[in-house]
Amino acid sequence: MLIGNLGRDAETKFTPAGAARTTFSIATTRKWKDQATGDWKEETDWHNVILWRSENLANYLLKGKQVYIEGRLQTRNYEDKDGKKVYATEVVAEEVMLLGGRAEGEGAGAGGGGFQQERGASSERSGGPVSMPRSARAAQPAAAASESFDQGITDDDVPF
**Model pLDDT, residue 150:** 52
**Model pLDDT, residue 155:** 62
Cα–Cα distances (Å) from 48 to 20, 72, 75, 106, in that order, read: 16, 12, 11, 25
CB 122 within 8 A of CB 98: no
Q: For the structural domain made of 2-157, what CATH number should be given?
A: 2.40.50.140
CB 20 within 8 A of CB 53: yes
Domain ranges of the chain: 2-157
CB 119 within 8 A of CB 90: no
Q: In the beta sheet, which residues pair with residue 103?
A: none
**Mean pLDDT by 10-residue block, N- to C-terminus, for the chain (160 residues)?**
92 90 92 90 93 83 92 92 92 89 44 41 41 38 46 59
CA–CA–CA angle 109, 115, 116 (5° rounding) = 150
